[in-house]
Amino acid sequence: MLGRLARWLRTLGFDTAYDDAITDEELVRRAFEERRYIVTRDRQLPEQWRMSNCLVLESDAPVDQLREVVVHFGLEPSDRLFTRCRICNAELVPATSEEVEAQVPASVREHQTDFVRCPNCRRVYWEGSHTERMLSVLARVFES
């Protein structure tokens, strides 16, 4: 249920694991093993598992959830913005126009020379109008 929040956190460059099919037991074990905080909507989880490194969100809306996370952990606007794959969390690597030819429309490649690619899922990213929309959402999150 928190997939969109996970994407926002990855956009900011934070190492964010997300698995909507994970059991509570696996979730708790993985958080322990990988030294992660759990962010959840499940109010019972912290008590049931005696977890202290757990944030229970109030909101259903992804951007409001992001605001809750930012406030709770005192996050600053990151200089690691757009360095992780929004889909799978891997760190992105630079790619040339030739390398992404098969995946990026020619109309984009005409105007754009800077690309990054996910070494894991092969997705390609570049700066565009979607980047500006995301930045304006993030500006609102951090100014409040």
**134 sits near Zn ion (criterion: CB under 5 A):** no
Query: Closest CB to Zn ion among 10 and 40?
Result: 10
Site residues (CB under 5 A) for Zn ion, limited to 16-75:
none
Closest by CA to 142, choosing from 70, 64, 56, 41, is: 70
Q: Which of 121, 127, 132, 140 binds Zn ion (CB under 5 A)?
A: 121
**33-41, 54-62, 78-86, 109-117 -> range binding Zn ion (CB under 5 A):** 78-86
**At what angle are helices 62-73 and 129-143 packed, to 10 degrees?**
50
Tell me the two tokens of residue 126: 């570049």
CB of 87 within 8 A of CB of 118?
yes
**139 sits near Zn ion (criterion: CB under 5 A):** no
**85 sits near Zn ion (criterion: CB under 5 A):** yes
Query: Closest CB to Zn ion among 124 and 135?
Result: 124
Least spacing, CB of residue 11 vs Zn ion, in Å:
12
**Half-sphere exposure (CA, 13 Å, Cβ side) for 112?**
20
Least spacing, CB of residue 123 vs Zn ion, in Å:
5
Question: What whole-number distance in Å separates Cα of residue 27 and Cα of residue 105?
Answer: 39
Q: Which of 92, 118, 138, 141 binds Zn ion (CB under 5 A)?
A: 118
Residues in contact with Zn ion by CB under 5 A are 85, 87-88, 90, 118, 120-121, 123
